[in-house]
Chains A and B, each alone.
Chain A
């Protein structure tokens, strides 16, 4: 019989107060009086009474908590009890820790069927109806991964508490392999590709995301072999050939570009830059490993990778985001022989969190999409948990809001790593599994979680999206693995190669490494499972988290296995690497996959795509410029895209590892920064600088301009704190939509062209990237009408660079009264796609363009002035233009300013509103000590640079025009109030 230990606080429990606050915000909220919480541990194993008491003691702190065994904890008076636990098969981290604790305490083991499960009861005092109590459960739980159990107080009394529920996985069928008949009609072949292999019960297993053409190639391959493929073989090919893994659209020939846009624009840019740099080339490993890497100093490399995790985050925001961040950590651990994660960054694109209009996945309106607010809060919490638990600082990030992110949010997560250049005598970034090496898997076990993740994300979101695509992260399992690998096994030289188990699970990681040795053999029976009943194809492609695959030479196996055991890391040998040229998988003594590696990796023929691009003319606003722009600026400061999101910065540990030089918030006024600097080698004054930028609204006008601006902004953000064009690299993340439409592809091609042009001009190579091509939602609104929502074509550009001496870095806050304010760069009438026009409800047409040649000269002068120590502060002018930058720097310094707006360098006389809010690129706002005036100005002779005002000793914030008329007159505290108002209460 299962036992139940319930734990309750004896003193006021903050969590319960917060929970009550949360419920009081619901429609029936006023009826909620109070909430108390009880934590429940359900032990599905026999223990003695004494043991249970000992366990209760171990699980609670007697100072503040009390425990109860097999009897309900005495909650305060309540009307409803809502218990939330996990569904069968969902990873229960606390349950796992408790199991380990019991094993340690009693020196006992748990049988395969024995386990610990956790749940939590919210006891609610308040006259809610049964339906309302149910709604509480739905607000607290995600039905894809959690179960809800609701009881009234009367029912609890009658039943003597809640029920003991053991969410054990019960296998629905005997696992096995089946053959798939591909000798069928084109229609059926297409259906297999689109909806998946048919199970015995007639249901489809979920998307393979293979088009008819690919299905025919697979059919012909097996026809030539004179046998039918197994379901495992089909699933395996689908994973390896997925858009997610093979980037088929970026690889496809497009119009006259034979090589495809990735090779032709992105990779060629890097190649051309490296060639031109010659001895100054700082790239070490680009586009071939899990991350890209550049030189840090003579002994170290830094690595970087930015991932997207959009589709999982749409379904389960917390789970999607946490597995996103710990997943990209593995791209660091899986770089070369294993790099140590030293920095995380994030970027979230959401719909308006105040938008409560529901959307549904199905016509019957039974599957509601999570609300933008719920998605936002879940995603923020997921990265919080993943990053904080892993001990990796997260100083850099942004949030971007646009209504078209309502169908699918975009969740960007990135990790920077540090790795010595040499492991023993060998280069750390080179690795090779050799014939004879063992295939070894470490970390978590395999379950049904995350099946079809790779193929699912290659499709748009609809009612058929699989819930098994949801994964639960367990950062501590990964932390143990990470420490054991990058802090110990790597330097003992115990393995020859390592890679991440991400998309496609074993089917991708093992097959990928098999390329190095030219073959592999895997015995699926040896793969450790979370629970029985998995079909072999599921074991092979499951994306269960926190696993890495390594190749370990036989003579080092014992030492490797021993080390992993001593570090509490599960380790299993599942096969051998060989040079057979084939990928062979065995299950219960029978071959279930036997495909030659050439076909597996290169059997998918290059697609050939056509594109068109038709520019759209948008309406322009026709109003006259308001004389008083004060209220406009105040309103701008509270815009979702401009307002302070410090509540995110404060909940992400940005100082762990003791390396933070410039963090997420600058100045006394704690203004969100656009670049961060860390010193990952504590004994050195060298720093790493990271920044990001994106401009999705510009895509509505011109995707070429959008991409060029994203690069220019990201570069400028880096330079503004002390980054240098001498060593600055880029990462690209294209998040597109409807990439089967020629117009969307035309937009993509133009953006890629801009990437080449801009990157080459700045000498900033791309070192890594990741794309996500189908960010569309097909569903229904509350009236049952069909809606399709596509994200605006979005390109996130991230930069990573090296700072020679971080002691010369500069922050954005104004420093001291009397300091001089300068604008660098020219302002043009470029209001198209601006935040200001958005506020007015227009898009416009005059999108900002990057004047690369003049920008480059300006940036070089800026860099020189910064290195000479002439700048007191610097701010990159981006979203919201100069007006917003003036306000941000003043808020950050908590000091007033006086500015003559007419002094701003401009292409032609602009009206004041446009001078303040135009988003022309390549501009910086800097402050300079009066004593440095001459030295500073010398750097900018012949360049667009103007003294526009000064820093005051009080908090007045005044902008005047040439005639001395006040354009804006307010004070810094008013601006700050507006800046902080939007996310108050988040």
Chain B
């Protein structure tokens, strides 16, 4: 089937259009839905197979990034959301969406305790908004969204992206294979919280986590901003190498597409 994707919007989320674009490019049908239209009952979570919380600056990061939007969802849509999770469906949160999922307690939801806040995304170690390209390595074998992937290069753009949780939570995350991506250096070796390879100083270089089912992915970097080979920060050099026969050709699409294709393929 062609899955229907609901992309959340409103209150300062701002990556909804490119998120819809990449899902549609991957073969899904996308709807941008203002959260108030869900609250009013004009739209229903039930009609969708995938929920996407896109990047943005919901509520201007006031009271902590993603916190106020998560509260809006929690106070108004919690039961519908729980019902959605209990079905065989997928959720992705990117950047601000990742912060929203963390504040909603949909990740990591250890012990199946959906709704429990178990992690935080703190201010970057530089205490500044960082927009730069990072390299990541796939960790989790259970995450639906990263199937068949090994490495991913894409931009981060955030001020509060430093993954933090208590040591026993980290231990459990590792034990249960819920770390989806870690930041690495260009050669694939661990970033070891070293700037700029880790743009924020996250504990254990964690860039993305999933829930215990592997169906809910919360990722700080932006795969949707690397949907085209011409998005990449070094495409002019790559193209020059292609022209001279040093590389076969520019790829058809950016490597970030793989994530969205995995989401769509899950329903096919």
Residues of A in contact with B (beta carbons under 8 Å apart): 11, 13-15, 17-18, 58-64, 93-94, 96-98, 100-101, 104-105, 384, 388-391, 474-476, 479-480, 483, 566-568, 649-663, 665-668, 679, 682-683, 806-807, 809-811, 813, 815-816, 869, 872-873, 929, 931
Contact = CB atoms under 8 A, between A and B. Distances in A.
Contact of A815 (B21, B55, B128, B237): B237
B63 A101 contact: yes
A662 B55 CA distance: 21
Contacts of B103: 61
Contact of A929 (B62, B68, B244): B244
Given A104-B72, A872-B240, 5 more contacts: A15-B127, A104-B71, A389-B57, A660-B225, A811-B237
A566 B36 contact: yes
Contacts of B122: 11, 13-14, 64
B15 A97 contact: no
Given A811-B236, A816-B240, A660 B131 contact: no
Interface stretch (B45-53, B113-121, B139-147): B113-121
B240 A929 contact: yes
A62 B118 CA distance: 8
A667 B234 CA distance: 6
B90 to A, nearest CB: 21
B215 interface: no
Interface residues of B, number: 66
Contacts, number: 181
B222 A476 contact: no
B223 to A, nearest CB: 10
9 contacts: A97-B62, A98-B62, A474-B60, A568-B36, A651-B131, A658-B227, A665-B233, A682-B21, A929-B240
Interface in B71-127: 71-72, 75-76, 103, 117-120, 122-125, 127
The 3 A-B residue pairs with the shortest CB-CB distance in the complex, in nearest-first order? A391-B14, A658-B18, A97-B62
Contacts of A389: 12, 57, 60-61
B157 to A, nearest CB: 4
B164 A64 contact: yes
B36 to A, nearest CB: 5
A17 B130 CA distance: 18
A475 B60 contact: yes
Contact of B64 (A61, A655, A657): A61
Contacts of B241: 816
Nearest to A63: B120
A685 B114 CA distance: 43
B267 interface: no
B243 A929 contact: yes
B3 interface: no
B162 A63 contact: no
Nearest to A661: B230
B120 A61 contact: yes
Given A813-B236, A815-B237, A655 B56 contact: no
A567 B10 CA distance: 7
B71 A101 contact: yes
Interface string B1-24: 000000001111011011001100
Contact of B12 (A60, A476, A652, A679): A476
Interface-centre pick from A97, A480, A668, A811 (highest chain B CB count, 10 A): A97
B233 A663 contact: yes
A235 B63 CA distance: 39
Contacts of A806: 230
A287 B137 CA distance: 51
B155 interface: yes
B26 interface: no
Of A661, A682, A872, the most chain B CB neighbours within 10 A belong to: A682
A101 B58 CA distance: 13
Contacts of A94: 60, 62-63
B131 A654 contact: yes
B63 A59 contact: yes
